[in-house]
Structure 1
Amino acid sequence: MIRCAIFDCDGTLVDSGGTIHRALGLAFAEHGLDLPPRQQAQRVIGLSLVEAMAELAPSHDADLHSRMAQTYKDAFVTLRGQAQVEEPLYDGILPLLDALEERGWLLSVATGKSDRGLRHCLTSHGLHARFLSLQTADRHPSKPHPSMTLQALADCGAEPHRSVVIGDTGWDMGMAKAAGCHAIGALWGYHDAAELRAAGADTLAAHPAEVLDQAEALVKVAA
């Protein structure tokens, strides 16, 4: 029986909120705009960049949103070149990945990051080779569209009812439900419990150590 665990990246595997906010600040300043406070801005983490810019600057047009997205990418590259990108793994993530693999789960990622950004992030932690499928915003519609999840399932040869999405935002929960997967809300990330539940979370994990038992229980019930 193939079982697949599909992880979001920002806010789930790594705590990248501070760096994302700095890059957003540079992008907004370049276009003469004021960036919303961090608590508000981090709520768009998980969306693809153009959609995130549209959420944060709704009174502006699609052309500006597209240009702001590119400016954000450039700013992130600049920060990386200056060794100012901080994307630490959350405590408990490595033991969780080890435990899932030991129990035979296949691992995947579905993220609003770009291919380049995800590769840098995972490689810096020595994790790139551990994920069978890496799905990013470069090739898919923004979450909560199920495209990334469906491709990860296809790559792993897994069925939705035997798979779980682990993510910290309502976008992740919505993506999971749209693909027919189970959804585990990561409370250590950027959206709160009420938002995760409202978007379809089957269960909530306060710490990565809780995820394995929750995933196996969800799949067992659905079998």
Structure 2
Amino acid sequence: MRLIVFDIDGTLVDSREIILAIHQHIFTAHGLPVPAEEAIMGLVGLSHREVFTALVGADGPIDSLIAGYKERAWALRAANAFPEPLFSGAADLVDALIKRGDCRLAVATGKGRRGTDLLLERNGWTPHFSSSHTSDDCPSKPDPTMLLRAMAAAEARPAETVMIGDSVFDMQMALAAGATPIGVAWGHQSPAALRKAGATAIAEDFTDLARLLG
């Protein structure tokens, strides 16, 4: 049984606006300069502690920034201030994979548990994913723990497992777990960076991704 593991932010969900808005809010609230958009988006995929350590240094107010991020993210989602839409074609592909019967699906994401559960529930995917692994449950990517746990839950071997993501951290995690890394061209990091990190292929859109998945 094949296992297909999806990243969320930048892969299934267009989350750029909400991520930038949250950083703008919490850095301003802490009296800190707001990092450049490129610096923020280049870290998407890592867990919160790794992101803020990279942005403010190990001696910065990391715990306070993490708490502020989670509080602001949930407030914005509750108010539906930033809809976080699925990328065009994402729902169709996931639904087609659900119907196939020859694969299992999972999530491995730097997103928190609440945001991940909300995404799966909102799209009716919760019963169709064999497992989901988040920054609240596992070490940060590119550590392979998320993928290893997904494989264990699905009883899948590394050779049967594909990791789909938009960040170099997704590609590095897949290689560390012995899985096949496939990058996507529409996310937060460039196809060139994904190839350099080990992507075996880059999907140009979800139609192309469906082709790559056979």
* TM, length-normalised to structure 1: 0.91
For 2:189, the equivalent position in structure 1 comes to 191
Residues 14 and 34 (structure 1 numbering): CA distance in 2 closer, same or farther, change over 3 Å?
A: same
Identity, % of aligned positions = 38
Q: Residue 84 of structure 2: which of 70, 84, 87 is its match?
A: 87
| C-alpha RMSD of the superposition | 1.4
Alignment length (residue pairs)? 213
> Within 5 Å, which residues of 2 pair with 1:18-167?
18-58=17-57, 61=59, 64-101=61-98, 102=100, 104-167=102-165
Name the CA distance, whole Å, in 2 between partners of 1:215 and 1:164: 9
Name the CA distance, whole Å, in 1 between partners of 2:43 and 2:157: 29
Q: Secondary structure at the match of 2:107?
A: strand
Where has structure 1 moved over 6 Å in runs of 4 or more? none
Deviation at 1:20, TM superposition (A): 1.1
Q: Which sits farther off after the overlay, 150-159 or 40-49?
A: 40-49
Name the CA distance, whole Å, in 1 between partners of 2:207 and 2:96: 9
Name the CA distance, whole Å, in 1 between partners of 2:191 and 2:69: 29
Deviation at 1:103, TM superposition (A): 5.5
- Provide structure 1 residue ranges, at least 5 long, that are not aligned to the other structure: 217-223
Q: What amino acid is aligned across from residue 20 of structure 1 in structure 2?
A: I
- Provide structure 2 residue ranges, at least 5 long, that are not aligned to the other structure: none
Deviation at 1:114, TM superposition (A): 1.2
Deviation at 1:131, TM superposition (A): 1.1
Deviation at 1:147, TM superposition (A): 0.3
Contact residue 3 and residue 163 of structure 1 kept, 8 A: yes
For 1:14, the equivalent position in structure 2 comes to 13
